[in-house]
Copies of this chain bind each other. A is one copy, B any other.
């Protein structure tokens, strides 16, 4: 099953992630060069995009859908170490093999570049290298924020933290107003949430039920979430209201 294209596959100007991806600061000439070496790939939910330890033949950007970076221990314990949203960059110029599994959490479309030509382009166009540095620094901040969540927060605070990150991202993507209830669909299964939070899926389920019982969130079905009071949720997450998560 192929994911149907919602946009023009050749013209970067009309690309939905044009203003946030690694190509954000490129001028028209640079964009043309990128257009010359890019190609699209689609992945179904559940598919592994890149296996840990494999050769990485391409790098690229998530155009739509959600992918995750996961590490697995020999006995099967797994930890999600990153959530890749539209415009996020996949791959590591200058390294041969992938350090983690990259999995499609939902159906995913990626804009790919073969690694070698992209590395060459990076060396010749400072705009791309500069943007990639900024994005990597942002990811590093996000990873470190998450270390606090994993190391020091309670199960309830972990769930609230995850919900507030998803809510915040949704708000920033759809440019919604800050006030009023926030509504979104959870893009993750309970198990994926558990792997991201360092919990079991049972604990995730229990804490979501508890937050619902305490009216911190409203649930319709399993996935559709309404947050009546964002400040309340942030409080439950253990963050002061203006503290900034980056994802």
Contact = CB atoms under 8 A, between A and B. Distances in A.
Contact of A147 (B79, B92, B99, B129): B79
A121 to B, nearest CB: 13
A71 B143 CA distance: 12
A126 B128 CA distance: 12
Contact of A74 (B147, B197, B240): B240
Contacts of A240: 74
Q: How large is the interface on A (under 10, 10 to 19, 20 to 34, 35 or more residues)?
A: 35 or more
A145 B137 CA distance: 17
Interface string A17-60: 00000000000000000000000000000000000000000000
Interface string A115-154: 0000000010010011011101101110111111011100
A119 to B, nearest CB: 11
A149 to B, nearest CB: 9
B147 A147 contact: yes
A151 B79 contact: yes
Interface in A75-97: 75, 77-79, 81-82, 92, 94-95
A129 B133 contact: yes
A228 interface: no
Nearest to A130: B129
A112 B118 CA distance: 33
Contacts of A123: 126, 130
A197 B71 contact: no
Contact of A150 (B75, B95, B147): B147
A198 interface: yes
Nearest to A244: B99
Contacts of A144: 69, 71, 81-82, 99-100, 143
A198 B152 contact: yes
A16 interface: no
